[in-house]
Amino acid sequence: MSTITIQLEENLNRRLIAAAERLGKSPDALILESIAQMVEEMELDDEFHRVADERWAKILVTGESISWDDARAYLKVRARGETATPPPPRKTTAS
């Protein structure tokens, strides 16, 4: 395990201690959980953007996409727990 030393302004340190006490945790545990949560969110965000870029590249190559109205109708049916046929892609003018 690595050790990192950080300096906190006195006000932030007091707030950290108070928050940790409310949660029944040590300040160190709260800091570690917060860092882990932030890193996970960043990784998920990176993956979201990777997938979006990949899908956009496919749209540019094929010229096909699904209209928002069709996608929305499909998702509403699926959200109700019903089976739905995915809408067919259509040619688009992506730019």
What pLDDT is attached to residue 95? 54
Contact criterion met (CB below 8 Å) for 59 and 65: yes
Whether the predicted model's global pTM rises above the 0.85 cut: no
What pLDDT is attached to residue 45? 98
> pLDDT tens track of the chain, all 95 residues?
899 999 999 999 999 999 999 999 999 999 999 999 999 999 999 999 999 999 999 999 999 999 999 999 999 999 999 999 999 999 976 55
Q: Concatenated DSSP letters for 43-67?
A: HHHHHHHHHHHHHHHHHHHH-EE--
Contact criterion met (CB below 8 Å) for 41 and 33: no
3-state secondary structure of 91: strand
